[in-house]
Structure formats: C-alpha cells, structure tokens
C-alpha cells in the first residue's frame, strides 16, 4: 500500500496543471475589454444581453410581455402611454416590450429615499425595523451611507445592519440584518394601479449561522415568506392588482442571531405599461 502523498506534492502537481492548462484571453475578449469604457458609457450599468441571459429575467420578460399584450387589448388609452422600460439611472435602454422594470440593484444610487430610472422620486427606501413585527409604522430610515461601489446604508445605532451594493455583490443587493432587527427595503408603486410580477432570488451565506427569513409584505400582509438556512431560492410572485402609491416591503429577518446572515437579494418588479400618475 502506497503512503499518502504529502500536501506539497499535491500542491506542486496542482500548480503545474493550473499553469499549463491556462489559456490566454481570446482575441474577441481582448477587443471587448479594449472597448469597455465606451461600451459602459453606451450601455449604462447592465447590458440587455445580460438581462435576457438569466432564466428568471427571461421568465419575467415573457410574463410581462403577456401582461402588456392583455393591457393593450383591454385598451382604455394604454397605447398612448407605452414607454421604453428597461434601464437604470444612467442611460435607460429602449425595450421592445411595453413594460416597466424596477431593479433593486440598478436603482440603488446612494440616496435614501432613491428614485427609479423613470424620473419618479422616493420609490425605494432602505429601512430597519424590529424583527418579528411587520409594522411599517415602526420602520426607520437608515441614515449613514458609505463604502466602495455604490455604497452601503447603515444606522450608527444598530451594529452590523447594512443594505448596499458593494463591488463584490455584482448584480445583487447585499443585506445584513442585526440581532433582533430586520433590514427592510421598501418599494413604492409610482404609477397607477397595475398588475405586478415580483421576480428575484435570495441567497444566504452558507458557511455558518442559522439562516434568515425573507418576507415580501404589503401592509403587514406577506405575499411570500422564504426561510433559508443556507443556499438560494428563486421566486416569482404575480400580483393581480397593486394600488398606485402602495408600498411593498422586502424584509430580511435574522434567525436566533444575525451571525453569518449576509444575504444577497436579486430583485426586479415588473409591470405592463400603463398610465403614469407621476409624482
């Protein structure tokens, strides 16, 4: 029977293998990288291709396109109000679908409350609230903003609680609840009563801790509750009617404690184009 190989031998074989199998960048990628600054300026913060590559986003696209077609047939002046929909705060892109898309990450721009990409103010709010009590009257706005990337909102009186988009979070919001305190993202419907589709995913740090609960809540009445010890769960929630000015709350609650409760939330809210009630 052979003696076990020492770590150093395994590491040497690994290093040689990694080095000899490392390909140089393809020329197509090299060209694309050379064009990165101008490409970024043209596309804003996320490419249309990227939006369509995600299965959840494709599902959203299909769902909202269907709703849009229904809205067009139902009529009542909808056609005159169709507008380009997909886009972030930098440079909205035209969309072939008549829909609004509010993206929690794209609309995270370092203000609280934050506007959407269509010129509506105070659409998103970043809040804290007592865990286990889903009472919007008890939610308080986070007041401190700082850090790299698009930054993070926090409250100096609540240790550890944060909602942000640091560079490492990529296309997701990164959220950390605190012991006994939930982190809350509020979205206000800035248009008239409409059908909505809420689409996203929630992922919690899988290395330790006792997990989190995500509640998607309207006026204390949850549309969906997802409890995750670790890993990721996708969600698609159709809402038949949602009033103009109505507020959705996305509540991340800690488990027994907030250790290892870092949570990543991918979130888009879709609505067929309809009359815009403005501000």
Contacting positions for other proteins (CB under 8 A): 2, 4-5, 7, 10-11, 13-26, 28-30, 32-34, 36-40, 45, 50, 53-55, 148-149, 167-171, 207, 232, 234, 262
Q: Cβ(255)–Cβ(198) under 8 Å?
A: no
3-state helix, strand, coil in the chain (%, to 5): 25, 35, 45
Min dist. Cβ of residue 148 to other proteins (A): 5
CB of 104 to other proteins, least distance (A): 16
Closer residue to other proteins (CB): 33 or 277: 33
Contacts of residue 108, Cβ cutoff 8 Å, sequence gap at least 6: 114, 124, 150, 164, 165, 173
Q: How far is the CB of 118 from other proteins (least distance, A)?
A: 22
Distance from C-alpha of 82 to C-alpha of 190, rounded to nearest angstrom? 15
Q: Compute the distance between CA of residue 191 and CA of residue 207 in angstroms, rounded to an integer.
A: 41
> What's the min distance (Å) between Cβ of 90 and other proteins?
9
Q: How far apart are CA 260 and CA 245, in angstroms?
A: 35
In the complex, the smallest distance separating the C-beta of residue 37 from other proteins, rounded to whole angstroms, is: 5
DSSP letter string, 110-155: S-SSB--TTS-SS-EEEEEEETT---GGG-EE--EEESSTT-EEE-
Cis peptide before 187 (omega within 30 of 0): no
Give the torsion through C-alpha atoms of 199, 45, 54, 269, to 10 deg.
Answer: 10
Nearer to other proteins, 114 or 195 (CB): 114
Residue whose CB is less far from other proteins, 53 or 224: 53
Closer Cβ to other proteins, 23 or 221, answer by number: 23
Q: How far is the CB of 12 from other proteins (least distance, A)?
A: 9
Q: Of 17 and 180, which CB lies nearer to other proteins in the complex structure? A: 17
**Comparison of 24 and 77: residue with beta carbon closer to other proteins:** 24
């Amino acid at each position: 029977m052979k003696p076990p190989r020492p770590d150093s031998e395994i590491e040497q074989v690994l290093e040689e293998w990694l080095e000899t199998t490392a390909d140089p960048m393809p020329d197509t990628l090299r060209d694309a990288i050379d064009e990165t600054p101008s490409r970024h300026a043209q596309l804003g913060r996320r490419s249309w291709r990227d939006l369509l590559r995600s299965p959840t986003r494709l599902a959203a696209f299909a769902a909202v396109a269907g709703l849009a077609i229904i809205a067009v047939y139902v009529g009542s002046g909808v056609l005159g109000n169709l507008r380009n929909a997909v886009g972030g705060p930098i440079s909205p892109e035209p969309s072939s679908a008549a829909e609004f898309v509010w993206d929690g990450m794209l609309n995270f721009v370092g203000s609280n409350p934050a506007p959407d990409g269509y010129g509506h103010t105070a659409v998103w709010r970043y809040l804290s609230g007592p865990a286990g009590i889903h009472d919007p009257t008890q939610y308080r706005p986070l007041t401190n903003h700082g850090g790299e990337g698009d930054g993070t909102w926090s409250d100096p009186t609540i240790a550890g609680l944060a909602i942000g988009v640091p560079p490492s979070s990529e296309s997701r919001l990164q959220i950390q609840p605190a012991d006994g305190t939930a982190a809350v993202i509020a979205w206000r419907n800035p248009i008239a009563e409409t059908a909505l589709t809420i689409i996203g995913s929630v992922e919690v740090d899988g290395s330790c801790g006792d997990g989190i609960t995500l509640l998607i809540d309207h006026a204390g009445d949850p549309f969906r509750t997802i409890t995750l010890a670790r890993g990721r769960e996708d969600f698609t929630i159709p809402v038949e009617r949602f009033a103009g000015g109505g507020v959705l709350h996305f509540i991340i609650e800690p488990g027994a404690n907030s250790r290892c409760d870092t949570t990543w939330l991918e979130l888009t809210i879709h609505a067929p184009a309809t009359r815009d009630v403005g501000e």
